[in-house]
Amino acid sequence: MDPLRSRYPRYFAFADLMTSAERVVSAYRRTVDGGTPVGYSHSYRDAKLPEETVRVTVNGEHLDLTVDAWIGQLEAVEAYVLAWVSTRVHLEGAKLTTSRGRPDPYWKDALREANPGRS
């Protein structure tokens, strides 16, 4: 294990939380055009959030991820955020975005499933 991670576990846990949530949100945004907007913020950016908190927002609902809750299971964060976002976004009528880099395979398949008959 990295000696810095051992010495500053909360700092790195928060960085891992931010990375995991941002990976899901950016993959969605990079792939989906016209779907439900998905927001992302964290306590470094938004002083209203409690310390060491990452927030993902969909349709007024929010998921708060805290270091205290996730420090022992950081490897599960990305899958949890993906499942949470997936159950709240509406992809009917949305399209594949082609101008923002390589589409994410998960969201590409979800778009196909939500819009059968579209190419």
- 1 falls in which pLDDT band (50, 70, 90)? low
Residue spans of the domains in the chain: they are: 3-108
Whether pLDDT at 119 is above 60: no
Q: What is the pLDDT of residue 101?
A: 80
pLDDT bucket at 4, cuts 50 / 70 / 90: confident
- Give me the sign of the Cα torsion angle 32, 48, 51, 66: negative
Per-residue DSSP letter, 116:
T
Characterise 117 by phi-psi region: left (phi > 0), alpha (psi -120 to 50), beta (else): left
CA distance 8 to 118: 49
Integer Cα distance of 103 and 48 in angstroms: 33
> Helices 77-86 and 9-31 meet at what angle, rounded to 10?
40
